[in-house]
Each structure stands twice: as structure tokens, then as C-alpha cells.
Amino acid sequence: MMTRISVRVMLLVAISATVGCDRVTKHIAATTLAGEPRQSFLADTFRLEYAENTGAFLSLGANWPPQIRTAVFGIGNAVVLLAFAVLTLRVRSTMPTLLGVALFIAGGASNVLDRLASGKVIDFLNVGLGPVRTGIFNVADVAIMLGTAIVVVAAWLTSPDTCPRYRRGV
């Protein structure tokens, strides 16, 4: 059984590693991909393509005035992430749930740092098969999605109403 301190240290390491990885990869993308043609790998399944996103997910709100974008995507997101962190710490959660929330907060915080510092987020990853492709994203976005998936699966596995293991009485 992990102590509260060891759990907190592990979560801080996960958050620091996620934010650090995102910051480094965005810096590399800005210095090596900006102004260059996109690079394609694995029969165009994976692409590296530099993009600056002043909006939110899939550039939502990119045409809003800069002050509104900063208020909503910078300050607003920071307040929501802080509230989410406080609520999570106040509720008894499983280790996978805590890890998922830590990844979600780390990814969100790294993107918020970009928005507050420069008014934009650097995106550079794109995956897909043929015409079916994702939007262009970054490591912080991967952390947000992975964290969300971990929380959803952890909730499903621990709920007597949804998990087959509980319904069978196993």
C-alpha cells in the first residue's frame, strides 16, 4: 500500500514529466518544423506538421478577439483545472483515477501556459488512414485524452452498475 506522500510524489512526477515532455516537444517542433513542409511516415499514417492554434480544440474560437480568447482559453481553463484538482484531492479516488486526473491536468496546464505566454498553442502531430485523419495536436492533448480514458475505464471497472465482474458476482 502506498502512503499519501508517495502517491503525491508519484503524481507530481507524472505531472512534471508530462508538462516537461510537452514543453520540449513543442520547442523542437517550433525550431525544426516551422516553415517546413509536412513530413509523412508509415505510408502517411503519421505526419509531423507545424501549426499554431489560437483557438481551442480543432481551432474553435480562433477568430475571437485576443482578450476573449485569453479570458476563456487561458484564465477560464486555469480556473477549471484548479477546481478539478481541488475536487479530486477532496474525494477518495483509486490510483488509476488519480493518475488519469493528473495526466488531464498536466496536459491542460501545459496548454494554458502556452496560451497565457503567447496566445497560442503549438500543434505538430497528425495521424490517420487515408482521408480519415485527426486534427493536428500535441503531447499535452495526448495526455488530456489518455487521462480522460483512464478515468472513464477506472470508473467503469469500479462501478457495480456497469462492470460485468460485479454483475456476475465474481
For residue 141, indicate whether it is catalytic: yes
Other C-beta atoms lying within 10 Å of the C-beta of residue 138: 23
Among 22, 44, 114, 123, the active-site one is 123
Concerning whether 114 is annotated as a catalytic residue, the answer is: no
Which grid coordinates belong to 150?
483512464
Q: Within a 13 Å sphere around the CA of 51, how many CA atoms are in the beta-carbon half? A: 21
Cell reading at 41: 511516415
Q: Which residue among 44, 114, 141, 161 is the active-site one? A: 141
Contact 131, 13 (CB under 8 A): no
On whether the CB atoms of residues 103 and 147 are closer than 8 A, the answer is: yes
Contact 53, 62 (CB under 8 A): yes
Residue 141: burial class (beta carbons within 10 Å; 0-12, 13-18, 19+): buried
Q: Would you name the residues annotated as active-site residues?
A: 123, 141
